[in-house]
Amino acid sequence: LKERYLGGIAEAGDEAALEELRVAALGKKGEISLKMRELGQMDPAVRQAAGQALNRLKDEIDAALRAKKAALGDAALDERLKAEWLDVTLPGRPRRQGTVHPISQVTEEVTAIFADMGFAVAEGPQIESDWYNFDALNIPPEHPSRQEMDTFYMARAEGDNRPPHVLRTHTSPVQIRSMQTHGAPIRIIAPGRVYRMDMDQTHTPMFHQVEGLAIDRDISMANLKWVLEEFCRAFFEVEGVELRFRASHFPFTEPSAEVDIRCSWAGGSLKIGEGDDWMEILGSGMVHPKVLAAAGVDPDEWQGFAFGLGIDRLAMLKYGIPDLRAFFESDLRWLRHYGFAA
């Protein structure tokens, strides 16, 4: 019996075979267990010796099983180590890294430049009530610019009594919110997304603006001009930037000016500060007294300027990108081509 089991254990090739042997010998109905049970019917004189012998046999088989199991485990580990070896001296495989989107990057640059001039950053919601987006900015319900703006209106359920909401068409509502919260004097910029139903090479239904607002006791158009020129010099890193202030009209500023930057697209590459082309980059003006009043700021005491810069336009100009739509298609080949992705 002993030889049979010890021999079997020595030859067992895996843990399953070992387990089979264990059950056959020591399991509930195993050969040794049965013999143990038979001890009860034995003559007391033989029983003691037989009992001791059986116990010894049981211990031996048990020990052999354990030893073999450990050996099998070691062998399995050796196998695995052989199969799974790793050459730690190999150089790592390169991984593509995520990068900052050009629009985010330009937004950060713009914010940093204005921060140097003392402008704090303000924010407002992208879903805006029509009061903030229009009325408070001196655009009454029947005003034609409500149509011109190609506004996205939020759908309203029957019986919904909340005021109408829109996807903000510009960042100007943040002027109102900031003045309501902080009063005057105030100097803020407000970068963010805006929405209009428009789509061609230079328009996308979602685009980005930075609003600027400076209100104090004696702020003038001259301050506006200096701030914008200083900004363009810093942003385009061109000493000779040239801006053209064109008289214009916005309901929320008086007087109003649109500002173009001198540039040239000659030879397919863009140069700032030279050539005969002008590209519009922003709208601006002196904040209308009605707008100050709507935001709770006394127009007899305070005055100042506001501007709205197109961030996407700035990015197009800075990186010489002819088609605005590409910014929002997330085409990695395009982003890589312009160096915006690894």
Q: Binding to ligand PHE by residue 340, rule CB under 6 A?
A: no
Q: Binding to ligand PHE by residue 107, rule CB under 6 A?
A: no
Which of 146, 168, 170, 208 binds ligand PHE (CB under 6 A)? It is: 170
Residue 47 CB burial class (10 angstroms; 0-12, 13-18, ≥19): middle
Give the span between the Cα atoms of 287 and 302, in whole angstroms. 10
Q: SS3 of 96, please?
A: coil
Give the span between the Cα atoms of 36 and 31, in whole angstroms. 9
Q: Binding to ligand PHE by residue 196, rule CB under 6 A?
A: no
CA-nearest of 179, 282, 191 to 228 is 282
Give the span between the Cα atoms of 295 and 285, in whole angstroms. 17
Q: At what angle do helices 31-38 and 44-83 cross, to 10 degrees?
A: 160
Q: Is 242 annotated as a binding residue?
A: no
Residue type, 258: E
Complex with ligand PHE: residue 8 or 308, whichever CB lies closer? 308
DSSP H stretches of helix in the chain:
2-11, 15-26, 31-38, 44-83, 102-116, 130-133, 145-148, 173-182, 221-236, 289-294, 311-319, 332-337
Complex with ligand PHE: residue 148 or 298, whichever CB lies closer? 148
Complex with ligand PHE: residue 102 or 308, whichever CB lies closer? 308
Binding string, residues 231-260; x marks residues near ligand PHE by CB under 6 A: -------------------x--x-------
Q: Binding to ligand PHE by residue 30, rule CB under 6 A?
A: no
Residue 295 CB burial class (10 angstroms; 0-12, 13-18, ≥19): buried
**Residues numbered 283-302 forming contacts with ligand PHE, rule: CB under 6 A:** 283-285
Complex with ligand PHE: residue 263 or 309, whichever CB lies closer? 309
Give the span between the Cα atoms of 7 and 290, in whole angstroms. 104
Distance in Å, CB of 264 to ligand PHE, minimum = 25
What is the total count of residues that contact ligand PHE (CB under 6 A)? 10
Complex with ligand PHE: residue 107 or 253, whichever CB lies closer? 253
Complex with ligand PHE: residue 172 or 270, whichever CB lies closer? 172
Q: Binding to ligand PHE by residue 308, rule CB under 6 A?
A: yes
> Residue 129 pairs with which residues in a beta bridge?
165
Q: Binding to ligand PHE by residue 306, rule CB under 6 A?
A: yes
Q: Binding to ligand PHE by residue 138, rule CB under 6 A?
A: no
Q: Binding to ligand PHE by residue 178, rule CB under 6 A?
A: no
Token look-up 């019996």 returns 1
Complex with ligand PHE: residue 65 or 172, whichever CB lies closer? 172
Stretch that binds ligand PHE, among 4-12, 156-164, 200-208, 303-311 (CB under 6 A): 303-311
Distance in Å, CB of 228 to ligand PHE, minimum = 12
Work out whether the CA dihedral 199, 202, 208, 211 comes out positive or negative. negative
Distance in Å, CB of 149 to ligand PHE, minimum = 8
Token look-up 């001039």 returns 117
- The site for ligand PHE (CB under 6 A) is made up of 170, 172, 250, 253, 283-285, 306-308
Annotated binding-site members for Mg(2+): 254
